[in-house]
Amino acid sequence: VTPGHKSLVVAMGCFWCAEEAFEHYAPGVVEAVSGYSGGTSSNPTYRNHAGHMEVVLVEYDPAKTSYQVLLNYAWRNMDPFDGTGQFCDKGSSYHPAIFYDGEEEHSIALSVLDKILEEHSWSAVQIEVSLLERTTFWKAEDYHQNYYIKKSDSYAYYKERCGRVDRLIQVWGDKEYHCYHDLDSACFPTATNASGVEVESEVNVKGVPVTEAGLLPPFAVVLLSVAGGMIVLCVCCTLYWRCRKRKTMMKGIASTDDEAFVSSTMDNTAIALDDAEIETQKI
């Protein structure tokens, strides 16, 4: 983390989606990094991170936002009632959690939760999101970083088919969802920074547009394109060989007709000669 900046760690299911949510919509965010945390093993990997959760480390500028503000964005990107995973991703790796570093952040995390429960008339026993003391953050493999940017079409298709947006709207309501997923910050033109000062909201630090999901995943589009090209090639080859076969047949017919004509002409000539010879003998 850059000197003068702060960070928080949250588990919101798939870390690709968490990374995109913070970098696109949360004010004051400098960078969101995908990784693993919550477990005890060292150097976890995507294929071997038992006990850890997929998390994001969010670096932010405390002059432009605060831990409290960012926690509100974290909650609006979770299904707080599902402790078995998030959306289409199930298993302990996708368990939702808020991590705090010290008593001050713990107190803030509890305060944010209490306000959410009050606003939505929910009970604490319904909530499956864990509040955990922050442990070592392990950065995920490079191919996971900025996935929503590097593989935008694949990411958009995955996010759509995973039902993430639909479920978040179902849980939080359409208006609240869109307020927390707005590149124009229409609902929150200002944000309270770590010093308690209201400042203008600055979002989408990387300036990346939101990619709309396609009807098919990118690999399917490629396969269909290849299949379409092969079909066109097969049709062209078939037409070519049919035309060639037809020309060969026509040549054969023409040759047969020529031979028949020559044979007929010779026969007629022979008959004419015979008739002439007979006439000569009569004379």
Which positions are catalytic?
14
DSSP per-residue letters across 62-82: TTT--HHHHHHHHHTTS-TT-
Let me know: does 189 contact 201? Beta carbons within 8 Å. Answer: yes
- SS3 assignment for 240-262: HHHHHHHHHHHHHHHHHHHHHHH
Cα–Cα distance between 273 and 127 in angstroms, integer?
Answer: 117
Phi and psi at residue 35, to the nearest 5°? -170, -160
DSSP state of 42: S
Let me know: does 89 contact 43? Beta carbons within 8 Å. Answer: no
Sign of CA dihedral 46, 50, 56, 59: negative
Cα–Cα distance between 215 and 229 in angstroms, integer?
Answer: 20
